[in-house]
Amino acid sequence: MKKTILTFTTVMFCLLMTACGTASGRADEALVGKYIPVKGTALGVTLSGDDMGGLTIELKSGGKAEIEVYGSTGSGKWVNDDTTLTLTVDKTDMVGKLGKDTIIFEGFLKEQVGHSMDVTFAKEGTDAAKPENFLPEEEKALLGDWEGVSVTDVMDDDVSGEISPSALKVTLNPDHTAVISFKGEEIATPTWSIFSNTVSFEGDVAGDARIYGEYKDGVFVITYSGEDNYYNFTMENSKKDASTQEKENK
């Protein structure tokens, strides 16, 4: 679904980028810089920064602008007042609300794409561009270092006598990269995503093992299946443990 939305939007955006706009007016130098998308919604689907990684807007001195969409670039112009910024490309105006190092466009390219797409851009290199600031709550809950605290087999029987629950360790980063270790060895550096409680890992895993997870009602279970074994690890976040311990100590 996300891929379809982004492909269609990209095609329409590229068709739009055929000529410079005709914007005129104030263009404050403080706004000059490159802006990257950090959050978006389209057709009810939430898009995070990496979903829109091929899209950037660069505001240049003198009110000039450059837009890049997956390698295709186009030129335009921009002006601003105290609360909004107007980006003009091929005589089409797109008005965004100014925030602290952010520009929020509602109905971005609605006339061209045919559906409403809201996008938040953040100025590169600022705190506003940090991905963790815009992740959905379910993704924020998964960030950090996780370690197994119990382990069962395919029949849901405890197999901690066969393998230590802490054999599986996983780090999930805000940029959706991950590091997975099994029995003290790094076995994968995949990307991760969550949809409808299912946590997916995309990338090669040592030994051709399969790894996937489920996060539901605050419980994170990761399944590790290899040629000769199948384990369900219930995970615990070390950062959450430290926070809980600190509260108990108080």
For 10-49, the pLDDT digits (tens) are 544 554 554 444 455 689 999 999 999 888 887 667 776 6
Look up residue 143 and give its two tokens: 């960030």
Residue 122: give the domain boundaries: 2-134
Same-domain status, 30 and 130: yes
- Residue 243: inside a domain: no
Residue ending a domain, choose from 66, 99, 134: 134
Is the pTM for the entire model greater than 0.85? Answer: no
pLDDT band at 134 (very low <50, low <70, confident <90, very high): confident
Residue ending a domain, choose from 119, 134, 149: 134
In eight-state DSSP terms, residue 6 is H
Find out whether 56 and 67 touch, Cβ atoms under 8 Å. Answer: yes
The per-residue pLDDT for 74 is: 80
Which of 124-133, 145-154, 202-211 is the least confident region? 124-133
**CA 107, CA 48: separation in Å to the nearest integer?**
17
Mean pLDDT over each residue of the chain, to the nearest integer:
84
**CA 199, CA 106: separation in Å to the nearest integer?**
29
Same-domain status, 114 and 145: no
Look up residue 93 and give its two tokens: 């105006």
The per-residue pLDDT for 233 is: 98
Q: What percent of the chain clears pLDDT 90, i.e. is strictly above it?
A: 55
**CA 170, CA 145: separation in Å to the nearest integer?**
6
